[in-house]
Amino acid sequence: MEKRLLIVDDNELIRHLLKHSLFFPECTTVTASNGTEALKLLNQEKYDIIISDYAMPGMNGVELARCIKQNHPSSTIIMVTGESNSDILSSNDIEFHFRKPLNLKKIKNVIQELLFNQ
């Protein structure tokens, strides 16, 4: 069964970078520019992993994670942020978090483990 990855970030360059850096042949990767768009995509398809930026206009990453876990509890959420934020560390909805600047190799290893070695 094909795996699905959703990348949510308001910065188009970051979305593009993550989509191409975290490429897996056995995985479909889709991007969204904000939390509302991400929730619409999640209502259409199941995603195994959601990678979300924390600081986005409208709905921040922690609020998005809370909404996702209410309706899609089996999805794994990875949060990326450029700031130190206790909301991220204290949220039970976020399984992994990474600080910017991102170590893409480390993130890719975590995703590979989650998608293919469970």
The total number of structural domains in the chain stands at 1
Work out the percent of the chain whose per-residue pLDDT is above 90.
81
Q: Where are the beta strands (DSSP E) in the chain?
A: 3-8, 27-32, 49-53, 76-81, 96-99
CATH of the domain at 15: 3.40.50.2300
Chain segment 56-109, per-residue pLDDT in tens: 999 999 999 999 999 999 999 999 988 777 667 677 888 999 998 999 999 999
- Domain range for 106 is 3-116
The DSSP call for residue 101 is: S
Helix H or strand E encompassing 38? helix 35-44
Q: What is the pTM of this model?
A: 0.94
d(CA 80, CA 77): 10
Instruction: Please give the distance of CA 86 from its chain centroid, rounded to a whole number.
Output: 18
